[in-house]
């Protein structure tokens, strides 16, 4: 069997059997399932079957006789405020209101209750508003118009292209939530997958196992096998999330509803997500190999590798600015910048349409960075992988690379 394939098989099986890899891969879907289950249990506990609420009213304005049933709230008329107060004391009504004769000019009603509250419940206020509005408009406006006036306004946004056609990429907070969650998962997968490459090379160098390996395999074969093996494991992780994400969204929409039921993930987003993982991982992996080559211990290598992990997480630090100015030139620059391109590009797709040229440019720069990183990593591995002791300085590295 080809020696590269042997290294690939060893690294792949070693990674997928790691407890940390298995926990990270499965914990996110399992945590989402638990969250949905807890929400359903809590919703059932907090929202018992609706019970009728009786509210008294004293009509000093006159003519308020219709629409006394507003959902589970029933308004009971009283001839005088004294009668309404007596009903409140005897618990025949939970509260009562007095509608003054100058309501049309003042627009205020007085609400009386026996328990102290900071403000009246929203559903009570809404029911009283609908009751008074329906009576004031009765006979003057058609019933369907009254219903439309009482129904809250819903604004649905649709983005058009420059030609007037409906754009394939639509924004909104729902889209932002989906892309932000997936981008965060992608950042985690990129960081952990590349760190596994660094740990594998660093441990073998620190334990001097590298001397035995390089006696029977070239540095190029060793690097290719490790990068491909760890990358295949990371790709499986991403695929598990890609498959489970729509299923979890469907389950959440049926359990939670609301905005969650409107969340959709376009197919092209998954394709771009996988492509950016492959490219981003390849770049970070060859950088990890280079860092492991010049480091004397795994701890030292992990400290040096932290800088590209920062670029993966940095877009989330500036999420508020990204939401306000998604097309700012600074974001265009970082969309093309290879360290931040995988995560930032996907996040911007949830906010606005990213031009094809920017996506093409970012992928092109990533490919060039991978090619340059491979050349650099191969030279550093040949030069420093069997060297121990003090880590070389940048000047020494530069001089050795020129002479090599």
Tell me if 329 is assigned to some domain: yes
Mean pLDDT is lowest, of 38-52, 89-103, 198-212, 362-376, for 38-52
Confidence at residue 364, expressed as pLDDT on a 0 to 100 scale: 93
Confidence at residue 125, expressed as pLDDT on a 0 to 100 scale: 86
Burial class (CB in 10 A: 0-12, 13-18, 19+), 268: exposed
Q: How confident is the model at residue 384 (pLDDT cuts 50, 70, 90)?
A: low
* Residues 221/3, Cβ–Cβ less than 8 Å: yes
* Residues 302/266, Cβ–Cβ less than 8 Å: no
Same domain for 392 and 340: yes
pLDDT (average), residues 337-350: 85
Short-list 280, 279, 263, 266, CA closest to 315 = 280
Same domain for 256 and 388: yes
**pLDDT per position as a tens digit, 59-99:** 888 888 888 888 788 888 998 888 999 998 888 898 898 98
How far from 42 is each of 51, 74, 317, CA to CA, in Å?
19, 27, 32
Short-list 278, 279, 287, CA closest to 374 = 287
Tell me if 13 is assigned to some domain: no
**pLDDT per position as a tens digit, 104-149:** 888 888 888 888 777 777 888 888 888 888 888 777 777 777 666 6
Alpha helical stretches, state H, 52-102: 81-89
Mark which of 120, 150, 180 sits at the end of a domain: 150
Same domain for 240 and 104: no
Mark which of 85, 117, 150 sits at the end of a domain: 150
Same domain for 281 and 138: no
Q: How confident is the model at residue 360 (pLDDT cuts 50, 70, 90)?
A: very high
| Mean pLDDT over each residue of the chain, to the nearest integer | 77
Query: Could you tell me what percent of the chain has a pLDDT over 70?
Result: 77
Same domain for 189 and 115: no
Question: Residue 103: is its pLDDT beyond 80?
Answer: yes
Structure tokens, 206: 């620190």
How far from 296 is each of 209, 268, 299, 385, CA to CA, in Å?
13, 43, 9, 9
Instruction: Sort strands 53-59 and 73-78 into parallel, antiparallel or unpaired.
Output: parallel
Same domain for 381 and 257: yes
Same domain for 174 and 76: no
CATH at 97: 3.40.190.10
Short-list 336, 343, 334, 337, CA closest to 357 = 336
Same domain for 237 and 195: yes
* Residues 204/47, Cβ–Cβ less than 8 Å: no
Query: Residue 106 sits in which domain range?
Result: 53-150
Same domain for 185 and 144: no
Same domain for 296 and 231: yes
Instruction: Provide the number of structural domains found in the chain.
Output: 2
Mark which of 150, 181, 201 sits at the end of a domain: 150
Mean pLDDT is lowest, of 84-93, 141-150, 181-190, 387-396, for 387-396
Same domain for 129 and 228: no
* Residues 353/363, Cβ–Cβ less than 8 Å: no
Q: Give the angle subtended at the CA of 155 by the CAs of 153 and 160, to the nearest 5°.
A: 160
pLDDT (average), residues 312-326: 80
């Amino acid at each position: 069997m080809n020696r590269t394939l042997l290294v690939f098989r060893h690294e792949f099986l070693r990674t997928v059997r790691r407890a940390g890899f298995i926990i990270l891969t499965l914990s996110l879907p399992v945590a989402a399932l638990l969250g949905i289950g807890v929400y359903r249990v809590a919703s059932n506990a907090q929202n018992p079957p609706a019970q009728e609420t009786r509210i008294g009213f004293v009509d000093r304005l006159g003519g308020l006789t219709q629409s006394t049933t507003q959902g589970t709230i029933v308004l009971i008329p009283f001839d005088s405020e004294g009668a309404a107060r007596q009903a409140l004391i005897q618990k025949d009504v939970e509260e009562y209101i007095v509608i003054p004769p100058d309501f049309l000019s003042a627009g205020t009603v007085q609400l009386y209750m026996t328990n102290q509250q900071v403000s009246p419940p929203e559903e009570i206020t809404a029911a009283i508003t609908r009751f008074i509005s329906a009576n004031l408009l009765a006979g003057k406006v058609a019933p369907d118009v009254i219903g439309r006036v009482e129904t809250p306004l819903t604004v649905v946004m649709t983005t058009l292209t420059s030609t007037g056609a409906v754009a394939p990429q639509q924004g909104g907070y729902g889209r932002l939530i989906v892309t932000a969650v997936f981008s965060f998962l992608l950042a985690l997968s990129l960081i952990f997958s590349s760190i596994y490459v660094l740990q594998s090379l660093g441990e073998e160098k620190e334990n001097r196992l590298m001397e035995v390996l390089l006696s029977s395999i070239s540095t190029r074969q060793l690097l290719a096998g490790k990068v491909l093996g760890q990358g295949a494991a990371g790709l499986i992780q991403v695929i598990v999330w890609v498959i489970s994400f729509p299923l979890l969204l469907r389950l959440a929409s049926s359990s939670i509803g609301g905005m969650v039921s409107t969340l959709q993930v376009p197919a092209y987003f998954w394709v771009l997500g996988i492509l950016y993982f492959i490219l981003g991982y390849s770049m970070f992996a060859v950088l990890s190999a280079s860092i492991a080559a010049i480091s004397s211990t795994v701890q030292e290598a992990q400290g040096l590798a932290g800088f590209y992990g920062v670029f993966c997480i940095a877009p989330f630090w500036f999420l508020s600015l990204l939401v306000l100015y998604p097309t700012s030139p600074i974001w265009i620059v970082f969309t093309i910048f290879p360290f931040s391109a995988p995560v930032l590009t996907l996040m911007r797709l949830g906010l606005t349409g990213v031009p094809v040229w920017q996506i093409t440019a970012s992928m092109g720069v990533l490919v060039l960075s991978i090619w340059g990183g491979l050349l650099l990593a191969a030279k550093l591995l040949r030069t420093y992988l069997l060297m121990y002791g003090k880590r070389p300085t940048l000047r020494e590295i530069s001089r050795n690379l020129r002479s090599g």
